[in-house]
Amino acid sequence: MKLLIVDDEEGMREGMRRLLERRGHSVDTAADGAAAAELLGRVTYDIALVDLKLPGLDGFEVTQRINDREGNRTVVVIVSALATVEAAMEVTRRGAFDFLIKPFAPDELMAVLDRAIRQRQLIQERETYLSELNQERSLSHQLINTLRDGVVVLNVNHKPVLMNPRAESMLGVGFRDDLSLSDLGLGDSVTAMVQEALNAAGEGAYRQTRVERPDAVLEVRVIPWVRPAESPSVIVLLGDVTEQVRVEHDKNRFISMVAHELTSPLAAISSYLAIVLEGTLDGKTEKLKEVIGRSKTRTDALLELVRDLQDLNRREAGRVERAPQRLDLRAVLREQVNFYHGPAERHGVTLELEDGTEAAVMADRGDLDRIFMNLISNGIKYNREGGRVSLRIERRPGEILVHVEDTGIGMSPDEVAGIFQEFYRAHNPQTQGISGTGLGLATVKRVLAACNGRIDVRSVPGKGSLFSVSLPAAP
Ligand code: ADP
Protein backbone atom coordinates (compact mmCIF):
# COMPACT_ATOMS: atom_id res chain seq x y z
CA MET A 1 0.00 0.00 0.00
CA LYS A 2 1.02 3.61 -0.50
CA LEU A 3 1.22 5.25 2.93
CA LEU A 4 1.76 8.79 4.18
CA ILE A 5 2.94 9.61 7.70
CA VAL A 6 2.51 13.19 8.85
CA ASP A 7 4.22 13.85 12.20
CA ASP A 8 6.45 16.63 13.48
CA GLU A 9 8.41 14.35 15.87
CA GLU A 10 11.20 12.87 13.84
CA GLY A 11 11.74 9.83 16.10
CA MET A 12 8.06 8.94 15.92
CA ARG A 13 7.94 9.49 12.18
CA GLU A 14 10.97 7.38 11.39
CA GLY A 15 9.99 4.65 13.89
CA MET A 16 6.64 4.25 12.20
CA ARG A 17 8.22 4.38 8.75
CA ARG A 18 10.59 1.47 9.61
CA LEU A 19 7.79 -0.64 11.02
CA LEU A 20 5.58 -0.07 8.04
CA GLU A 21 8.26 -0.51 5.42
CA ARG A 22 9.16 -3.80 7.04
CA ARG A 23 5.59 -4.84 6.34
CA GLY A 24 6.20 -4.16 2.68
CA HIS A 25 4.44 -0.82 2.37
CA SER A 26 5.78 2.13 0.46
CA VAL A 27 5.98 5.08 2.85
CA ASP A 28 6.37 8.85 2.44
CA THR A 29 6.73 11.15 5.39
CA ALA A 30 6.03 14.81 6.07
CA ALA A 31 7.13 16.82 9.10
CA ASP A 32 4.41 19.45 8.90
CA GLY A 33 1.10 20.30 7.29
CA ALA A 34 2.63 22.29 4.45
CA ALA A 35 4.95 19.42 3.43
CA ALA A 36 1.98 17.05 3.66
CA ALA A 37 -0.09 19.36 1.47
CA GLU A 38 2.71 19.46 -1.10
CA LEU A 39 2.90 15.64 -1.25
CA LEU A 40 -0.87 15.31 -1.40
CA GLY A 41 -0.83 17.58 -4.44
CA ARG A 42 1.28 15.03 -6.33
CA VAL A 43 0.65 11.60 -4.88
CA THR A 44 -2.47 9.60 -4.15
CA TYR A 45 -2.16 7.63 -0.91
CA ASP A 46 -4.10 4.57 0.19
CA ILE A 47 -3.70 5.38 3.87
CA ALA A 48 -2.52 8.48 5.74
CA LEU A 49 -1.45 8.48 9.40
CA VAL A 50 -1.84 12.11 10.50
CA ASP A 51 -0.70 13.63 13.75
CA LEU A 52 -3.33 15.96 15.08
CA LYS A 53 -0.97 18.60 16.42
CA LEU A 54 1.18 19.90 13.63
CA PRO A 55 2.91 23.16 13.05
CA GLY A 56 1.20 25.23 10.37
CA LEU A 57 -1.71 23.26 8.97
CA ASP A 58 -2.95 21.00 11.75
CA GLY A 59 -4.31 17.46 11.52
CA PHE A 60 -7.87 18.75 11.10
CA GLU A 61 -6.93 20.71 8.04
CA VAL A 62 -4.74 17.98 6.53
CA THR A 63 -7.63 15.51 6.90
CA GLN A 64 -9.89 18.08 5.28
CA ARG A 65 -7.48 18.46 2.35
CA ILE A 66 -7.26 14.71 1.87
CA ASN A 67 -11.03 14.35 1.85
CA ASP A 68 -11.45 17.29 -0.50
CA ARG A 69 -8.95 15.82 -2.95
CA GLU A 70 -9.71 12.14 -2.71
CA GLY A 71 -13.33 12.11 -1.58
CA ASN A 72 -12.79 9.58 1.23
CA ARG A 73 -10.77 7.24 -0.96
CA THR A 74 -7.68 7.73 1.18
CA VAL A 75 -8.21 6.19 4.61
CA VAL A 76 -7.08 8.66 7.31
CA VAL A 77 -5.96 7.52 10.76
CA ILE A 78 -5.48 10.35 13.28
CA VAL A 79 -2.61 9.99 15.68
CA SER A 80 -2.93 12.07 18.83
CA ALA A 81 -1.73 12.46 22.37
CA LEU A 82 -4.00 11.44 25.19
CA ALA A 83 -4.64 15.10 25.95
CA THR A 84 -6.25 15.64 22.58
CA VAL A 85 -8.24 12.41 22.40
CA GLU A 86 -11.54 14.29 22.25
CA ALA A 87 -10.36 16.35 19.34
CA ALA A 88 -9.18 13.12 17.64
CA MET A 89 -12.64 11.64 18.10
CA GLU A 90 -14.11 14.77 16.58
CA VAL A 91 -11.92 14.46 13.46
CA THR A 92 -12.93 10.83 13.20
CA ARG A 93 -16.57 11.88 13.26
CA ARG A 94 -15.83 14.33 10.47
CA GLY A 95 -14.28 11.88 8.07
CA ALA A 96 -11.14 10.25 9.46
CA PHE A 97 -11.45 6.48 9.66
CA ASP A 98 -9.93 5.78 13.09
CA PHE A 99 -7.54 7.17 15.68
CA LEU A 100 -4.50 6.00 17.54
CA ILE A 101 -3.43 7.34 20.95
CA LYS A 102 0.22 8.15 21.61
CA PRO A 103 2.23 6.54 22.98
CA PHE A 104 1.34 3.24 21.36
CA ALA A 105 3.00 -0.16 21.06
CA PRO A 106 3.90 -1.52 17.60
CA ASP A 107 1.06 -4.09 17.95
CA GLU A 108 -1.45 -1.32 18.44
CA LEU A 109 -0.19 0.49 15.35
CA MET A 110 -0.45 -2.74 13.35
CA ALA A 111 -3.97 -3.46 14.57
CA VAL A 112 -5.15 -0.01 13.51
CA LEU A 113 -3.27 -0.30 10.23
CA ASP A 114 -4.82 -3.69 9.46
CA ARG A 115 -8.28 -2.22 9.93
CA ALA A 116 -7.34 0.73 7.72
CA ILE A 117 -6.01 -1.65 5.06
CA ARG A 118 -9.23 -3.67 5.17
CA GLN A 119 -11.19 -0.45 4.83
CA ARG A 120 -9.07 0.64 1.90
CA GLN A 121 -9.65 -2.74 0.21
CA LEU A 122 -13.39 -2.44 0.74
CA ILE A 123 -13.30 0.99 -0.84
CA GLN A 124 -11.36 -0.38 -3.80
CA GLU A 125 -13.75 -3.30 -4.24
CA ARG A 126 -16.69 -0.97 -4.16
CA GLU A 127 -15.06 1.31 -6.71
CA THR A 128 -14.36 -1.59 -9.04
CA TYR A 129 -17.90 -2.85 -8.63
CA LEU A 130 -19.35 0.59 -9.28
CA SER A 131 -17.21 1.16 -12.31
CA GLU A 132 -18.18 -2.26 -13.72
CA LEU A 133 -21.80 -1.48 -13.02
CA ASN A 134 -21.42 1.86 -14.76
CA GLN A 135 -19.78 0.23 -17.73
CA GLU A 136 -22.55 -2.35 -17.96
CA ARG A 137 -25.14 0.38 -17.65
CA SER A 138 -23.60 2.47 -20.36
CA LEU A 139 -23.24 -0.63 -22.55
CA SER A 140 -26.89 -1.61 -22.18
CA HIS A 141 -27.87 2.01 -22.62
CA GLN A 142 -25.90 2.18 -25.82
CA LEU A 143 -27.30 -1.16 -27.01
CA ILE A 144 -30.87 -0.09 -26.35
CA ASN A 145 -30.32 3.24 -28.05
CA THR A 146 -28.86 1.74 -31.20
CA LEU A 147 -31.27 -1.20 -31.55
CA ARG A 148 -33.24 -1.38 -34.77
CA ASP A 149 -36.18 -2.53 -32.70
CA GLY A 150 -38.18 -0.13 -30.62
CA VAL A 151 -38.06 -0.87 -26.88
CA VAL A 152 -40.63 0.29 -24.35
CA VAL A 153 -40.55 -0.81 -20.71
CA LEU A 154 -43.87 -0.66 -18.83
CA ASN A 155 -44.25 -0.91 -15.09
CA VAL A 156 -46.88 -2.94 -13.26
CA ASN A 157 -49.42 -0.13 -13.84
CA HIS A 158 -48.87 -0.22 -17.64
CA LYS A 159 -46.98 3.05 -17.43
CA PRO A 160 -44.06 3.52 -19.82
CA VAL A 161 -40.90 4.01 -17.77
CA LEU A 162 -38.37 3.75 -20.60
CA MET A 163 -38.46 4.20 -24.35
CA ASN A 164 -35.56 4.07 -26.76
CA PRO A 165 -35.28 6.62 -29.59
CA ARG A 166 -36.35 4.00 -32.15
CA ALA A 167 -39.61 3.38 -30.27
CA GLU A 168 -40.20 7.12 -30.08
CA SER A 169 -39.81 7.52 -33.82
CA MET A 170 -41.84 4.40 -34.68
CA LEU A 171 -44.71 5.50 -32.48
CA GLY A 172 -44.34 9.20 -33.13
CA VAL A 173 -44.41 9.84 -29.37
CA GLY A 174 -41.66 11.42 -27.28
CA PHE A 175 -41.03 9.94 -23.85
CA ARG A 176 -42.36 11.98 -20.94
CA ASP A 177 -43.24 11.27 -17.34
CA ASP A 178 -47.00 11.39 -17.71
CA LEU A 179 -47.11 9.07 -20.71
CA SER A 180 -49.61 6.20 -20.60
CA LEU A 181 -49.83 2.99 -22.62
CA SER A 182 -52.85 4.30 -24.52
CA ASP A 183 -50.80 7.31 -25.70
CA LEU A 184 -48.62 4.88 -27.65
CA GLY A 185 -51.56 4.02 -29.92
CA LEU A 186 -50.90 0.29 -29.96
CA GLY A 187 -54.55 -0.62 -29.45
CA ASP A 188 -56.55 -2.72 -27.02
CA SER A 189 -55.10 -6.06 -27.98
CA VAL A 190 -51.62 -4.95 -26.90
CA THR A 191 -53.04 -3.60 -23.63
CA ALA A 192 -54.64 -7.00 -23.03
CA MET A 193 -51.36 -8.76 -23.83
CA VAL A 194 -49.50 -6.51 -21.40
CA GLN A 195 -51.93 -7.44 -18.62
CA GLU A 196 -51.61 -11.13 -19.50
CA ALA A 197 -47.84 -10.86 -19.42
CA LEU A 198 -47.98 -9.20 -15.99
CA ASN A 199 -50.31 -11.92 -14.70
CA ALA A 200 -48.15 -14.67 -16.12
CA ALA A 201 -44.92 -13.03 -14.98
CA GLY A 202 -42.29 -15.64 -14.37
CA GLU A 203 -43.56 -18.04 -16.98
CA GLY A 204 -41.31 -16.31 -19.46
CA ALA A 205 -43.30 -16.91 -22.62
CA TYR A 206 -43.81 -13.87 -24.80
CA ARG A 207 -46.84 -12.78 -26.75
CA GLN A 208 -46.78 -11.43 -30.27
CA THR A 209 -49.14 -9.54 -32.51
CA ARG A 210 -49.15 -7.21 -35.49
CA VAL A 211 -50.48 -3.70 -35.22
CA GLU A 212 -51.48 -1.80 -38.32
CA ARG A 213 -50.85 1.90 -38.04
CA PRO A 214 -51.71 4.40 -40.76
CA ASP A 215 -48.12 4.58 -41.99
CA ALA A 216 -46.61 1.27 -40.89
CA VAL A 217 -47.22 -2.28 -39.77
CA LEU A 218 -45.53 -3.06 -36.45
CA GLU A 219 -44.72 -6.46 -35.03
CA VAL A 220 -45.24 -6.13 -31.28
CA ARG A 221 -43.73 -8.59 -28.81
CA VAL A 222 -44.66 -8.38 -25.15
CA ILE A 223 -42.21 -9.98 -22.75
CA PRO A 224 -42.64 -10.30 -18.99
CA TRP A 225 -39.69 -8.97 -17.02
CA VAL A 226 -39.37 -10.31 -13.51
CA ARG A 227 -36.71 -9.20 -11.05
CA PRO A 228 -36.39 -10.46 -7.50
CA ALA A 229 -37.96 -8.14 -4.93
CA GLU A 230 -39.38 -5.80 -7.57
CA SER A 231 -42.87 -5.64 -8.98
CA PRO A 232 -43.10 -7.24 -12.44
CA SER A 233 -42.58 -5.14 -15.55
CA VAL A 234 -43.15 -5.74 -19.21
CA ILE A 235 -40.80 -5.14 -22.13
CA VAL A 236 -42.51 -4.27 -25.39
CA LEU A 237 -40.38 -4.80 -28.49
CA LEU A 238 -41.49 -3.13 -31.72
CA GLY A 239 -40.31 -4.24 -35.15
CA ASP A 240 -41.22 -2.44 -38.37
CA VAL A 241 -42.52 -5.11 -40.75
CA THR A 242 -44.17 -2.79 -43.27
CA GLU A 243 -41.85 -3.81 -46.08
CA GLN A 244 -42.11 -7.50 -45.23
CA VAL A 245 -45.92 -7.31 -45.23
CA ARG A 246 -45.86 -5.52 -48.58
CA VAL A 247 -43.61 -8.19 -50.10
CA GLU A 248 -45.82 -10.98 -48.72
CA HIS A 249 -48.85 -9.23 -50.12
CA ASP A 250 -47.24 -8.75 -53.56
CA LYS A 251 -46.13 -12.37 -53.60
CA ASN A 252 -49.61 -13.64 -52.81
CA ARG A 253 -51.07 -11.37 -55.47
CA PHE A 254 -48.50 -12.61 -57.96
CA ILE A 255 -49.21 -16.26 -57.19
CA SER A 256 -52.95 -15.81 -57.64
CA MET A 257 -52.34 -13.92 -60.90
CA VAL A 258 -50.14 -16.74 -62.19
CA ALA A 259 -52.77 -19.32 -61.23
CA HIS A 260 -55.39 -17.23 -63.00
CA GLU A 261 -53.24 -16.84 -66.14
CA LEU A 262 -52.55 -20.57 -66.32
CA THR A 263 -56.15 -21.60 -65.83
CA SER A 264 -57.76 -20.33 -69.03
CA PRO A 265 -55.28 -21.76 -71.59
CA LEU A 266 -55.16 -25.08 -69.71
CA ALA A 267 -58.96 -25.23 -69.58
CA ALA A 268 -59.08 -24.52 -73.33
CA ILE A 269 -56.50 -27.20 -74.12
CA SER A 270 -58.36 -29.66 -71.91
CA SER A 271 -61.65 -29.04 -73.72
CA TYR A 272 -59.98 -29.41 -77.15
CA LEU A 273 -58.52 -32.72 -76.02
CA ALA A 274 -61.96 -33.81 -74.74
CA ILE A 275 -63.43 -33.12 -78.18
CA VAL A 276 -60.74 -35.27 -79.80
CA LEU A 277 -61.30 -38.08 -77.26
CA GLU A 278 -65.10 -38.03 -77.73
CA GLY A 279 -64.45 -39.33 -81.24
CA THR A 280 -66.91 -36.96 -82.92
CA LEU A 281 -64.12 -35.77 -85.20
CA ASP A 282 -62.87 -39.25 -86.06
CA GLY A 283 -62.04 -39.40 -89.74
CA LYS A 284 -62.46 -35.63 -90.15
CA THR A 285 -58.79 -34.87 -90.60
CA GLU A 286 -59.19 -31.15 -91.35
CA LYS A 287 -61.36 -30.53 -88.26
CA LEU A 288 -59.00 -32.58 -86.11
CA LYS A 289 -56.02 -30.59 -87.35
CA GLU A 290 -57.78 -27.36 -86.56
CA VAL A 291 -58.54 -28.39 -82.97
CA ILE A 292 -55.03 -29.70 -82.45
CA GLY A 293 -53.63 -26.51 -84.01
CA ARG A 294 -55.58 -24.42 -81.51
CA SER A 295 -54.28 -26.58 -78.69
CA LYS A 296 -50.75 -26.03 -79.96
CA THR A 297 -51.23 -22.25 -80.07
CA ARG A 298 -52.46 -22.31 -76.49
CA THR A 299 -49.60 -24.59 -75.42
CA ASP A 300 -47.04 -22.32 -77.07
CA ALA A 301 -48.50 -19.32 -75.27
CA LEU A 302 -48.27 -21.24 -72.00
CA LEU A 303 -44.64 -22.08 -72.69
CA GLU A 304 -43.90 -18.44 -73.41
CA LEU A 305 -45.61 -17.46 -70.18
CA VAL A 306 -43.65 -20.01 -68.17
CA ARG A 307 -40.37 -18.84 -69.74
CA ASP A 308 -41.18 -15.22 -68.94
CA LEU A 309 -42.05 -16.23 -65.40
CA GLN A 310 -38.78 -18.08 -65.02
CA ASP A 311 -36.88 -15.07 -66.27
CA LEU A 312 -38.73 -12.76 -63.92
CA ASN A 313 -38.11 -15.12 -61.03
CA ARG A 314 -34.41 -15.46 -61.77
CA ARG A 315 -34.09 -11.69 -61.82
CA GLU A 316 -36.10 -11.32 -58.65
CA ALA A 317 -33.86 -13.80 -56.86
CA GLY A 318 -30.78 -12.01 -58.18
CA ARG A 319 -29.75 -15.18 -59.99
CA VAL A 320 -29.15 -13.44 -63.28
CA GLU A 321 -25.44 -12.77 -63.56
CA ARG A 322 -25.08 -9.15 -64.57
CA ALA A 323 -21.84 -7.68 -65.79
CA PRO A 324 -22.16 -3.98 -66.53
CA GLN A 325 -19.59 -2.82 -69.03
CA ARG A 326 -19.04 0.02 -71.45
CA LEU A 327 -21.22 -0.68 -74.46
CA ASP A 328 -22.03 1.24 -77.60
CA LEU A 329 -25.80 1.36 -77.57
CA ARG A 330 -25.84 2.05 -81.29
CA ALA A 331 -24.16 -1.29 -82.01
CA VAL A 332 -26.54 -3.15 -79.68
CA LEU A 333 -29.59 -1.59 -81.33
CA ARG A 334 -28.24 -2.32 -84.79
CA GLU A 335 -28.05 -6.02 -83.91
CA GLN A 336 -31.55 -6.00 -82.46
CA VAL A 337 -32.96 -4.26 -85.52
CA ASN A 338 -31.28 -6.79 -87.82
CA PHE A 339 -32.73 -9.63 -85.76
CA TYR A 340 -36.28 -8.23 -85.94
CA HIS A 341 -36.23 -7.42 -89.65
CA GLY A 342 -37.78 -10.80 -90.52
CA PRO A 343 -40.68 -10.63 -88.03
CA ALA A 344 -41.31 -6.99 -88.95
CA GLU A 345 -41.53 -7.87 -92.62
CA ARG A 346 -43.97 -10.69 -91.91
CA HIS A 347 -46.19 -8.15 -90.11
CA GLY A 348 -45.86 -5.71 -92.98
CA VAL A 349 -44.06 -3.26 -90.73
CA THR A 350 -40.95 -1.21 -91.53
CA LEU A 351 -38.28 -1.27 -88.83
CA GLU A 352 -35.61 1.41 -88.89
CA LEU A 353 -32.78 2.77 -86.74
CA GLU A 354 -31.64 6.36 -87.04
CA ASP A 355 -27.93 5.71 -86.82
CA GLY A 356 -25.94 8.49 -85.20
CA THR A 357 -22.61 8.74 -83.46
CA GLU A 358 -21.44 6.42 -80.70
CA ALA A 359 -23.57 6.31 -77.55
CA ALA A 360 -21.65 4.70 -74.70
CA VAL A 361 -23.56 3.34 -71.71
CA MET A 362 -22.51 1.29 -68.69
CA ALA A 363 -24.84 -1.69 -68.77
CA ASP A 364 -25.11 -5.43 -68.89
CA ARG A 365 -25.51 -6.73 -72.42
CA GLY A 366 -28.28 -9.16 -71.41
CA ASP A 367 -30.21 -6.33 -69.77
CA LEU A 368 -30.06 -4.19 -72.91
CA ASP A 369 -31.25 -7.11 -75.06
CA ARG A 370 -34.19 -7.75 -72.69
CA ILE A 371 -35.27 -4.12 -72.77
CA PHE A 372 -35.12 -3.52 -76.51
CA MET A 373 -36.34 -6.98 -77.57
CA ASN A 374 -39.53 -6.32 -75.65
CA LEU A 375 -40.00 -2.79 -76.95
CA ILE A 376 -39.25 -3.61 -80.58
CA SER A 377 -41.40 -6.77 -80.63
CA ASN A 378 -44.29 -4.86 -79.02
CA GLY A 379 -43.87 -2.08 -81.60
CA ILE A 380 -44.23 -4.69 -84.34
CA LYS A 381 -47.00 -6.73 -82.67
CA TYR A 382 -49.23 -3.81 -81.77
CA ASN A 383 -48.85 -2.17 -85.17
CA ARG A 384 -50.85 -2.12 -88.38
CA GLU A 385 -50.18 -3.35 -91.88
CA GLY A 386 -47.88 -0.83 -93.57
CA GLY A 387 -46.86 0.70 -90.24
CA ARG A 388 -43.43 1.67 -88.97
CA VAL A 389 -41.23 1.21 -85.90
CA SER A 390 -38.35 3.64 -85.60
CA LEU A 391 -35.54 3.80 -83.07
CA ARG A 392 -33.70 7.00 -82.32
CA ILE A 393 -30.81 7.71 -79.94
CA GLU A 394 -30.63 11.00 -78.08
CA ARG A 395 -27.62 12.09 -75.97
CA ARG A 396 -28.16 14.24 -72.92
CA PRO A 397 -25.76 15.23 -70.14
CA GLY A 398 -25.20 12.07 -68.08
CA GLU A 399 -27.82 9.99 -69.87
CA ILE A 400 -28.60 8.40 -73.18
CA LEU A 401 -32.18 8.17 -74.35
CA VAL A 402 -33.52 5.65 -76.82
CA HIS A 403 -36.90 6.44 -78.33
CA VAL A 404 -38.84 3.50 -79.74
CA GLU A 405 -41.74 4.93 -81.71
CA ASP A 406 -44.45 3.06 -83.55
CA THR A 407 -47.40 3.94 -85.75
CA GLY A 408 -49.50 1.20 -84.19
CA ILE A 409 -52.77 0.86 -82.34
CA GLY A 410 -51.74 3.13 -79.44
CA MET A 411 -53.23 3.05 -75.96
CA SER A 412 -55.74 5.00 -73.90
CA PRO A 413 -54.43 6.77 -70.78
CA ASP A 414 -56.04 4.04 -68.63
CA GLU A 415 -54.23 1.37 -70.58
CA VAL A 416 -50.92 3.21 -70.33
CA ALA A 417 -51.38 3.33 -66.57
CA GLY A 418 -51.45 -0.48 -66.37
CA ILE A 419 -48.83 -1.69 -68.80
CA PHE A 420 -45.93 -2.07 -66.34
CA GLN A 421 -47.89 -4.34 -64.02
CA GLU A 422 -47.38 -8.07 -64.29
CA PHE A 423 -49.94 -9.79 -66.54
CA TYR A 424 -51.55 -6.54 -67.61
CA ARG A 425 -52.81 -6.72 -71.17
CA ALA A 426 -55.06 -4.14 -72.79
CA HIS A 427 -58.28 -5.79 -73.90
CA ASN A 428 -59.86 -4.08 -76.89
CA PRO A 429 -60.86 -5.06 -80.43
CA GLN A 430 -57.36 -4.19 -81.73
CA THR A 431 -55.47 -6.36 -79.26
CA GLN A 432 -57.76 -9.35 -79.76
CA GLY A 433 -55.82 -12.11 -81.42
CA ILE A 434 -52.42 -10.69 -80.50
CA SER A 435 -50.72 -13.16 -78.20
CA GLY A 436 -48.66 -12.15 -75.20
CA THR A 437 -48.11 -12.79 -71.52
CA GLY A 438 -48.39 -9.30 -70.05
CA LEU A 439 -44.96 -9.81 -68.48
CA GLY A 440 -42.73 -8.10 -71.05
CA LEU A 441 -42.98 -4.50 -69.88
CA ALA A 442 -43.02 -5.52 -66.21
CA THR A 443 -39.66 -7.18 -66.86
CA VAL A 444 -38.39 -4.11 -68.75
CA LYS A 445 -39.28 -1.95 -65.77
CA ARG A 446 -37.45 -4.24 -63.34
CA VAL A 447 -34.39 -4.49 -65.54
CA LEU A 448 -34.24 -0.71 -65.85
CA ALA A 449 -34.58 -0.29 -62.10
CA ALA A 450 -31.59 -2.59 -61.67
CA CYS A 451 -29.42 -0.52 -64.00
CA ASN A 452 -30.50 2.94 -62.81
CA GLY A 453 -32.54 3.61 -65.89
CA ARG A 454 -36.16 4.58 -66.44
CA ILE A 455 -38.85 4.47 -69.05
CA ASP A 456 -41.54 6.94 -70.15
CA VAL A 457 -44.49 6.33 -72.43
CA ARG A 458 -46.58 8.55 -74.59
CA SER A 459 -49.37 7.05 -76.63
CA VAL A 460 -52.38 8.10 -78.68
CA PRO A 461 -55.06 5.52 -79.50
CA GLY A 462 -55.13 4.74 -83.19
CA LYS A 463 -51.95 6.77 -83.84
CA GLY A 464 -49.11 5.02 -82.09
CA SER A 465 -46.87 4.94 -79.06
CA LEU A 466 -43.51 6.36 -78.05
CA PHE A 467 -41.46 4.51 -75.43
CA SER A 468 -38.42 6.49 -74.21
CA VAL A 469 -35.75 4.62 -72.29
CA SER A 470 -33.11 6.50 -70.32
CA LEU A 471 -29.80 4.86 -69.39
CA PRO A 472 -26.86 6.34 -67.50
CA ALA A 473 -24.17 7.42 -69.95
CA ALA A 474 -20.76 5.84 -69.50
CA PRO A 475 -18.29 8.34 -68.04
P1 ADP B 1 -47.55 -8.57 -73.82
O2 ADP B 1 -47.12 -7.84 -75.02
O3 ADP B 1 -46.92 -9.89 -73.67
O4 ADP B 1 -49.01 -8.58 -73.62
P5 ADP B 1 -46.24 -6.43 -72.35
O6 ADP B 1 -45.97 -6.35 -70.93
O7 ADP B 1 -45.11 -6.35 -73.30
O8 ADP B 1 -47.03 -7.80 -72.54
O9 ADP B 1 -47.28 -5.32 -72.71
C10 ADP B 1 -48.42 -5.12 -71.87
C11 ADP B 1 -49.56 -4.54 -72.68
O12 ADP B 1 -49.25 -3.22 -73.06
C13 ADP B 1 -49.83 -5.25 -73.97
O14 ADP B 1 -50.68 -6.35 -73.76
C15 ADP B 1 -50.48 -4.16 -74.78
O16 ADP B 1 -51.83 -4.07 -74.45
C17 ADP B 1 -49.79 -2.91 -74.31
N18 ADP B 1 -48.70 -2.50 -75.21
C19 ADP B 1 -47.38 -2.73 -75.03
N20 ADP B 1 -46.64 -2.19 -76.00
C21 ADP B 1 -47.52 -1.57 -76.84
C22 ADP B 1 -47.39 -0.80 -78.03
N23 ADP B 1 -46.19 -0.56 -78.58
N24 ADP B 1 -48.50 -0.31 -78.59
C25 ADP B 1 -49.71 -0.53 -78.04
N26 ADP B 1 -49.89 -1.25 -76.92
C27 ADP B 1 -48.82 -1.77 -76.32
Instruction: Render 311-367 in DSSP notation, one character per residue.
Output: HHHHHHTT-S----EEEEHHHHHHHHHHHHHHHHHHTT-EEEEE--S--EEEE-HHH
Q: Is the CB of 453 under 6 A from ligand 1?
A: no
For ligand 1, is residue 371 a contact (CB within 6 Å)?
no
- Are the C-beta atoms of residues 301 and 437 closer than 8 Å to each other? yes
Q: Does residue 5 register a pLDDT over 70?
A: yes
Which of 46-50, 302-306, 338-342 has the least mean pLDDT?
302-306
- pLDDT of amino acid 258: 85
Residue pair 80/59 in contact by the 8 Å Cβ criterion: yes
| Percent of the chain residues past pLDDT 90, beyond the cut | 65
Q: How confident is the model at residue 310 (pLDDT cuts 50, 70, 90)?
A: confident
| pLDDT of 288 strictly over 80 | yes
| Whether the CB of 387 sits within 6 Å of ligand 1 | no
The pTM of the full predicted model, rounded to 2 decimals, is: 0.55
Lowest mean pLDDT among 84-98, 262-276, 410-424: 84-98
Model confidence at 68: pLDDT above 80 = yes
Alpha-carbon gap, residue 47 to 113, rounded angstroms? 9
- The pLDDT assigned to 202 comes to 61
pLDDT at residue number 116: 94
Over residues 444-452, mean pLDDT: 90
Atom of ligand 1 nearest to the CA of 374: 7
- Please tell me the predicted confidence (pLDDT) of residue 359: 92
pLDDT in tens, 218-230: 999 999 988 888 8
Check residue 58 and give its pLDDT.
83
Predicted confidence at residue 204, as pLDDT, reads 64
Pocket test for ligand 1, best of 347, 380, 425 (most atoms within 8 A of CB): 425
Measured distance CA(325)–CA(333) in Å, rounded:
16
- What rounded mean pLDDT belongs to the chain? 91
